[in-house]
Amino acid sequence: MKNNNRIHNFIVLLTLLTLEITLGQETVTGNFPPPETPVTITANRVKGSITVDGRLNETDWGMAEPVTDFFRVEPVQGGTIKNPTEVRILYDDKHVYFGVFAKDSLGKKGVRMQDLSRDFNGQENDVFGIQIDAQNTKQYAVSFQTTPYGNQQDVQNFNDNNRDEDWNALWRVRTQRTDEGYFAEFAIPFKSIRYDRPISGVPVAWGITFFRLARRDYEKTVFPAIPQSFSENRMTYAAKLTGLEVPPPSANIRVEPYALYQYDENKSGDILTNKLSDPKVGGDVKWAINPNAVLDLTINTDFAQADVDRAVNNLERFNIFFPERRQFFLENSGIWAGSNSSFIRPFFSRTIGLSNSFNASPAPLDIGGRYTDRTENRTIAALAVRQRETDDSPGATFGVARYTKNYGQENNFGAMLTYRRDDSFSEQNLNSADNTTVTIDGLIRPKSELSITYMLSASNDSGTSKTGYAGQLFIGNTTNKSYLGYLNSFVSKEYTPDMGFVSQKDVMYHSPGGYAIMRPKGLPFIRRWDPGAFFNYYHDFEDFGNFQQSSLYIFPIYTWFKDNSFVEASFTPTWQNINFDFAPLGLQIAQDDYRYTRYLVRYNTDRSKKFSGSISYDFGDFYNGTRNSVTTGLRYAPSPHIAMNVNYEHNNINSLGILGEDLNTDLYTASVRLALNPRVQLSTFYQYNSFDEQGRWNVRFSWEYMPLSFIYLVFNDTQTDVIDPIQRNTQFISKITFLKQF
């Protein structure tokens, strides 16, 4: 305890020192409002033909006026740009083309790349991106991004606060690296962009922004000028792309059939308990009914190529949130109410395709459909899925309907209805059951810096015949110099969203806090320093006076250096009222009041380098005992074609719980990614958890033999040693998909 007190006093001293250094920080230009008249840029019609090879050697490129007036937002706002960028824009009857030259004084040697995966990490690599709001909603954008090696990433962004990184569009890009920098050549089909039918005599104008991250210097530039506190997706600042003669929207159908073979076997010791050898066919269809409305259909849905979940040892009182990883549900996922919350989601698609059994095993999906109709003023969406009956769970029908109305510059109001109906199930003598939620929500931006979101949801379940309630309110103000925010969430005891997720019931949560954003002139090796604090307070929803838990997260050191390496030193005084049966990892905690403080120190090196590492040490008291946790990671990427990761987490728990027990857990993770190019890749992943003595292998080969058409070979193996006899599941999947857009 004496050592902990010394550390506590040292960090408090650092907090006071931070406040003094604030007085000497560099003066940073503040936020500025969107322009009353947007910047205008022009696209030229192609007179010859364009070969997408990343060379920009056609005559048409030389005739196009370059966009060069980029604005720096990192490492400081404004000023001279070290790595200039030029963008030229062309179009023909089928495509809009973007030709990019990203200058770099070191040329090929200056490139920072970690791997060649699609949907890459935009903070670790050199990146150039294009954001398009073709319907001029100012609340929605699609982004097409690449690297010097031609990786592709496509993203949907909603209101500059909710990203859908798993949306996939049909487009091409090729790049060339030179001694002066790199070239990128984009070809985006008009059919991959949703725009309104052109009106005769009215010029077409799309909202558009560009950004570039020159990762070696961590220099981020944007066009047009956007304040540092916002992203390139804040489309109220967008320029207007004019000069386009877009084709009138026509039949736009995308068909993606698949065929696969799957082999599964389960063993208990040496005894084969179950075996499956199953061919399967199915597919997806996307029909753009008109420029605003899209209908997606899925038949005999399969997610064999989806990433597996990572194991987690949960020591807290809240449910763990595992993100959705299945492509059909990920597309347009940002339109649903609560989609950016990990505390309350009235609709969470992971509840679809799971049986009601204890281990929530996968259940097949027979058919599903999604309808989205988005205009400048409103969005209408609906989703319906039919889940097949399994040996231990009835069939079920899922439905969700959504409406949002845009008003003002960046405001919206929405309503959502979910409905789940489980069939009767004679084997367990269960009658049919249904569950419904109704939700209203919205976003208000009185000014660019201030965002207010709200949500109120009610559920009704036929099994209990009771109505429950949940809601959330967020107020956040972000400037170049500070962030201040308040989050309030509540969930009643009866709130039961069978198609949703809540982290805890019968709870109300308050979290006010904020941090300064400092770029101290006297410490030139620091890019950004964000000292601050957040207060987290939980109490019963039914009985407001019944305290559950509170903590004060204080982080005087939360600092990015000029190479974007990072260090944090923080401490968290915590108060707990355990008045229920609570046994994290099987260690029974006595019902009592607890007060303790935990400390955290973590650091990671520059993740863009060939070799990088990270380490964190979380230590201190824990209820009536102690817990020390160490997490380390190493990454080695000698070239973008090879990337290796090793991670290790160790928990050391002493004298905890009623019996004063000790427990050590270890979590080992390793992965290797090999890539011939961005379209041919082999990835392997292994994880071992000492707590349940479970080891898991995932090996996946993917070949994008045509744009968005893939061949997959997947091997999964899970072995659990804690059960006698040893349990083992082995799975092999081969799958081919073919995409054709008409």
Per-residue pLDDT, 16 = 39
Per-residue pLDDT, 56 = 95
Per-residue pLDDT, 3 = 45
**705 DSSP 8-state letter:** E
In a 13 Å sphere around the CA of 669, the CA atoms on its Cβ side amount to 16
Q: Average pLDDT of the chain?
A: 89
- Per mean pLDDT, which range of 326-340, 348-362, 368-382, 387-401 is the poorest? 348-362
DSSP character string of 367-420: EEEEEEEE-SSEEEEEEEEEEPPBTTB--EEEEEEEEEEEETTTEEEEEEEEEE
What does the alpha-carbon distance between residue 253 and residue 283 come to, in Å, rounded to a whole number? 13
Residue 4 in this model has a pLDDT that exceeds 60: no
For the chain, give every domain's residue range: 35-242, 319-503
What digits encode the pLDDT tens for the residues 392-423? Answer: 788 899 999 999 999 887 899 999 999 999 88
List strand residue ranges (DSSP E) for 448-504, in order.
Answer: 450-461, 466-478, 482-491, 501-502
Indicate the SS3 state at residue 676: strand
Question: Is residue 648 a contact partner of residue 632, using CB atoms and an 8 Å limit?
Answer: yes
Mean pLDDT of 723-739: 91
pTM for the model stands at 0.85
Name the percent of the chain lying above pLDDT 90.
65
Q: Which residue has the higher pLDDT, 168 or 736?
A: 736
Residue with tokens 């010394």: 6
What does the alpha-carbon distance between residue 625 and residue 318 come to, in Å, rounded to a whole number? 20
**Alpha carbon 586 to its chain's center:** 31
What does the alpha-carbon distance between residue 555 and residue 15 come to, in Å, rounded to a whole number? 8
Mean pLDDT of 112-136: 90
For the domain made up of 35-242, the CATH class stated in words is mainly beta
